[in-house]
Amino acid sequence: MINKSIMRALGFATALVMVGYGPASYADEATNITLASTTSTQNSGLFDYLLPLFKKQTGVDVHVVAVGTGAALKLARNGDADVLMVHHKTSEDKFVADGYGVKRFDVMYNDFVLVGPDSDPAEVKGSETIIDALNNIKTKQSIFLSRGDDSGTNKRELELWKANGDNPKSASGDWYRETGSGMGATLNTAVAMQGYALTDRATWISYKNKQNMEILFEGDERLFNQYGVIVVNPEKFPHVKVKPAETFVNWIISPKGQEAIAGYKLSGEQLFIPNAK
């Protein structure tokens, strides 16, 4: 589990300083915005919890398009969203550098975990690093389910394989299987095939069909999973609803928004840790 002392060390409730677009200026009247985000934030139930609170305080209604991070970035690059909230910082920074976003802010984090059948045929439990764990899977050619959808999770998974000089796509269709699906569907396939998969912790906590699957490796610093939020650049797309979009960003990185994120739990487990600066 995520170390609770990290949460306390953040001290967000008392020490958070707004560094967004200045003091939050809530919309004068009810309006709506489109938020391109990830399946993990939506399927975990986070937005079902957060957005009614946000609307009650601001009058702004948020329509969420939940896809993989890569697809969310494409939507925003096409001007089909007002706000972007995803979890692959390198891609987010490039989005801003290329002029598609105004400014990026940290919002929250959790971590990735490696799950698999409790029989653990690749013997990944007890590995010293996530690289060692993946190497065991490759060496024993145990079934590994990849999202294969250019999502933030898929991007991180491929980065982890690459860190050991591996290109698992060369084994695609053999022990390495690409689902081309979201996290929930990929986990369903992993359960059916009794294979391994990398998933964000929030999705795993909220996932109902675990059967004999369990977390077999966690805790490596390379599994840190940061989420960021960005207003789409109105200079690039004049139709972007700037004021309510900024209202959303200001709220979610404010003490109220951060407290709301911290308050979202399932079965007593916290899914995301707020860390806006």
| pTM as predicted | 0.86
CB neighbourhood size of 128 (10 A): 9
Residue range 186-203, pLDDT digits in tens: 999 999 999 999 999 999
How far apart (Å, rounded) are the C-alpha atoms in residues 227 and 239?
25
DSSP one-letter code for 87: S
**Is the pLDDT confidence value at 24 over 50?**
no
Q: Which fold has domain 112-223?
A: D-Maltodextrin-Binding Protein; domain 2 (3.40.190)
**Is the pLDDT confidence value at 7 over 80?**
no
According to the model, what pLDDT value does residue 20 have? 52
According to the model, what pLDDT value does residue 169 have? 87
| Residues whose CB falls within 8 Å of the CB of residue 74, separated by 6 or more in sequence, listed in order | none
Band of the pLDDT at 43, cuts 50, 70, 90?
confident
**Is the pLDDT confidence value at 5 over 50?**
no
Band of the pLDDT at 23, cuts 50, 70, 90?
very low
**Is the pLDDT confidence value at 179 over 80?**
yes
The predicted model gives 8-27 an average pLDDT of: 42
Superfamily of domain 4-110+225-274: Periplasmic binding protein-like II (3.40.190.10)
According to the model, what pLDDT value does residue 232 have? 98
- For 117, the token pair is 């059948």
207 phi-psi bin (left φ>0, alpha ψ -120 to 50, beta other): beta
Can 4-110+225-274 and 112-223 be said to share one CATH topology?
yes
**Is the pLDDT confidence value at 21 over 80?**
no
Domain ranges for the chain? 4-110+225-274, 112-223
**Is the pLDDT confidence value at 6 over 60?**
no
**pLDDT over 90, % of the chain:** 83
The predicted model gives 157-161 an average pLDDT of: 96
H helices of the chain, where? 4-10, 12-15, 39-43, 46-58, 69-77, 89-97, 130-140, 152-163, 183-193, 201-206, 242-252, 255-262
The predicted model gives 253-272 an average pLDDT of: 96
Give the pairing type, strands 196-200 and 101-117.
Answer: antiparallel
Band of the pLDDT at 277, cuts 50, 70, 90?
confident
Residue range 200-217, pLDDT digits in tens: 999 999 999 999 999 999
According to the model, what pLDDT value does residue 26 have? 40
Q: Read off φ and ψ for residue 67, nearest 5 degrees.
A: -140, -175
CB neighbourhood size of 167 (10 A): 11
